[in-house]
Amino acid sequence: MPTSGRQRCTARWDQVAGHPVRSLETGECRAVPPVVLVPGLGALGYLVDALEGCGAWTRSFLLDVPGFGHRGPRAVHPPDVSSLAEAVRAWLDVVPRAPVVLAGHSTGAQIACRVAAARPERVRSLVLMSPVFPPAARRVTGLLRVLPGTVAHESPGEIRVTAPYFLRAGRDLHRYLRSALREAPERLVDRVACPVLVVRGEHDALSPQPWVSELAARAPRGRWVTVPGAHNFPYRRGGLTSALIAEAARHR
């Protein structure tokens, strides 16, 4: 299904429940379900390569639900996991309409899991990439213990790509992170009806192997896999990421 080509993406705005929602779009409608990517902490840039890879084989979107990806007015949705999941559910009713392959990374995986559990008719397959947070890391002290081991294996270039989004977010980023630390995906994933693929980087202490395997085991049709890299393994690995999502699209 994946090809070696890359498709340029364009920004679009859609009115969803009376509010504008921005996304990046690429690719064309195919027999394969559309792909929808939900980034971690609202930072779109590190997933653009993955978006373009998916666009080579199906219509694909990268959501800017928190509104951190542009310099215009702030998004009206409060930047917390619950309200952002509601925004994604509403967006799915307006834009792709057909069932999608929903892929979330990091805190975006929390949002994607909520959406798949609440709207099974809209999600054909679910991909949880680097899901967070395991119970031991849901307090600031626990988070600080595992971060250094992960950051040491990340690419320094990620800072240049993600920093503009975090600067635009300002204090909203802190609110978003606090809500993510309160999430417990293990209590939700067993309500997901579609096939679930959980992916972690081999050096990712934020998504440790026991945590990932537990999530996959709790899902009615769950699988998990470890890939090279750390927490932000999709960065500059668009081919690998899009291939994983393509494999999930085939699995029914």
Terminal Cα distance for the chain, rounded: 15
The answer as to whether 5 is a domain residue is no
Look up the domain containing 38 and give its range: 10-250
Distance, in Å, from the CA atom of 180 to the CA atom of 37, rounded to the nearest integer, reads: 18
The answer as to whether 94 is a domain residue is yes
Give the tokens for residue 130: 């680097």
Q: What is the CATH number of the domain that holds 157?
A: 3.40.50.1820
For the chain, list the strands marked E by DSSP. Answer: 10-16, 19-26, 35-38, 60-64, 100-105, 123-129, 196-201, 222-227
Strands 10-16 and 19-26: antiparallel
The answer as to whether 119 is a domain residue is yes
Distance, in Å, from the CA atom of 201 to the CA atom of 1, rounded to the nearest integer, reads: 23
The answer as to whether 3 is a domain residue is no
The answer as to whether 108 is a domain residue is yes
Give the tokens for residue 234: 């999709």
Distance, in Å, from the CA atom of 73 to the CA atom of 67, rounded to the nearest integer, reads: 8
pLDDT of residue 73: 65
Nearest to 118 by CA among 97, 94, 89, 95: 89
CB 223 within 8 A of CB 148: no
pLDDT in tens, the chain (252 residues): 554 455 689 999 999 988 899 999 999 988 899 999 999 999 999 999 999 999 999 999 999 999 999 877 666 677 899 999 999 999 999 999 889 999 999 999 999 999 999 999 999 999 999 999 999 999 989 999 999 999 999 998 999 999 999 999 999 999 999 999 999 999 999 999 999 999 999 999 999 999 999 999 999 999 999 999 999 999 999 999 999 999 999 876
Reduced to 3 states, what is the DSSP secondary structure of residue 199?
strand
Nearest to 162 by CA among 28, 6, 41: 41
The answer as to whether 237 is a domain residue is yes
Distance, in Å, from the CA atom of 31 to the CA atom of 140, rounded to the nearest integer, reads: 45
The answer as to whether 2 is a domain residue is no
Give the tokens for residue 55: 């666009």
Domain tally, the chain = 1
The answer as to whether 4 is a domain residue is no
- The single-letter DSSP state of residue 98 is S
Distance, in Å, from the CA atom of 231 to the CA atom of 199, rounded to the nearest integer, reads: 10
Sign of CA dihedral 37, 123, 239, 183: positive
